[in-house]
Amino acid sequence: MKILVLGASSQIGRFLLPRLRARGDEVVAVSRAQHADADGLTWQRGALPDHMPDAANADAVVCYGPIVALAPWLASGAAPGVTRVVCTSSMSAESKIESLDAAEREMARSLRDGEAALAATCEARRIAWTVLRPTLVYGAGIDRSLSPIARGAMRAHVFPLPSGRGLRQPVHADDIACATTAALDTPMAAGQVIPIGGGERLSSGEMFARVRRSLAVATLPLPVPRWLLGLAAAAIPRARGPISRLDVDLIADNEPLLRLLGVRPRSFLADGACWMHS
């Protein structure tokens, strides 16, 4: 297939491109920045929805960019030969719908609206579509959740450890790339929104403790008491949502992932390379 990959320089895209090239697919990778071409891989600069390269000859689209912008571009007829679309949304579409933070509630609403618009557009144009909803993503050092914490701790040699009983299910970006390739090849995955979490559920406190143990430098563990978290939530509005969810389970049911795609994500056994941007 000739596959157009949007968000190709994202953390998931970095793992997907080698997988597609190994399959022998012709890949056109789209990014806001310029990159060097390689065998079977052509880079184009672009961004959804109005600054896209020519996609007239593409057979399939993989999108790791904003899902809300994908449907308008497809509806414009810019990719008339596309018969398959696989894209990512987020489990935040469910977990943040009742957040204490208005911006998080709006993000959750936007994700759900984007999913619905994509489904309607694809069905109108007879395009098979699959949406993957990952939990917390890690693995390439460019996420905005665990990697900044890890790198900050390495610089300061101190690792803050907030207590939390809520379950977490971090998913490696390469496992999402694996699910993407499986979805491209699996007719049963068409018309499905598929959750994808890591292969292990652990408390938020244990998740942070494992990140600390994975670091290449020694850090002093610094437990953060609940009263201090409460003060932070009161003083910093954008912190209210994350702090309020420390005791809330943020997990995914991987049964559809295994049943439809045959993908079994890895456990959370991170090493220091997961937090460094290459």
pLDDT in tens, 161-214: 988 889 999 999 999 999 999 999 999 999 999 999 999 999 999 999 999 999
* Longest CA–CA separation in the chain, Å: 58
- Confidence category of residue 13, pLDDT binned at 50, 70, 90: very high
Out of 86-95, 97-106, 147-156, which region has the weakest mean confidence (pLDDT)? 97-106
Q: Is the pLDDT of residue 86 over 90?
A: yes
Contact indicator for 193, 89 with CB cutoff of 8 Å: yes
Helix (H, G, I), strand (E, B) or coil at 225: coil
pLDDT of residue 165: 87
Contact indicator for 197, 91 with CB cutoff of 8 Å: yes
Q: Give the residue-averaged pLDDT of 58-73.
A: 95
For the chain, give the mean pLDDT.
94
pLDDT of residue 241: 82
The contacts of residue 144 (CB under 8 Å, 6+ apart) are: none
Q: Is the pLDDT of residue 278 over 70?
A: no
Residue 229, phi then psi, degrees to nearest 5 = -65, -40
Residue 86, phi then psi, degrees to nearest 5 = -125, 130
Whats the size of the chain, residue-wise? Answer: 278
pLDDT digits (tens, 9 = 90+) for 143-172: 999 999 999 999 999 999 988 889 999 999
Q: Is the pLDDT of residue 87 over 80?
A: yes
The CA angle 166-66-28, to the nearest 5 degrees, is 120
pLDDT digits (tens, 9 = 90+) for 114-133: 999 999 999 999 999 999 99
pTM above 0.85, yes or no: yes
Query: How many Å apart are CA 227 and CA 259, to the nearest integer?
Result: 44
Q: Give the residue-averaged pLDDT of 234-260.
A: 90
- Confidence category of residue 64, pLDDT binned at 50, 70, 90: very high
Q: Which helix (H) or strand (E) holds 106?
A: helix 102-124
pLDDT of residue 231: 87
Work out the percent of the chain whose per-residue pLDDT is above 90.
Answer: 80
Query: How many Å apart are CA 111 and CA 114, to the nearest integer?
Result: 5
pLDDT of residue 102: 86
Q: Give the residue-averaged pLDDT of 228-244.
A: 84
Alpha carbon of 65 to those of 14, 45, 102, 171: distances in Å?
13, 13, 22, 18
pLDDT of residue 163: 81
Half-sphere CA count of 167, side-chain side, radius 13 A: 11
Q: Is the pLDDT of residue 239 over 90?
A: no
The CA angle 271-274-278, to the nearest 5 degrees, is 130
Cα radius of gyration rounded to whole Å, the chain = 19
Q: Give the residue-averaged pLDDT of 238-262.
A: 91
Going by their DSSP bridges, the two strands 60-63 and 84-88 should be labelled as parallel
pLDDT of residue 212: 96
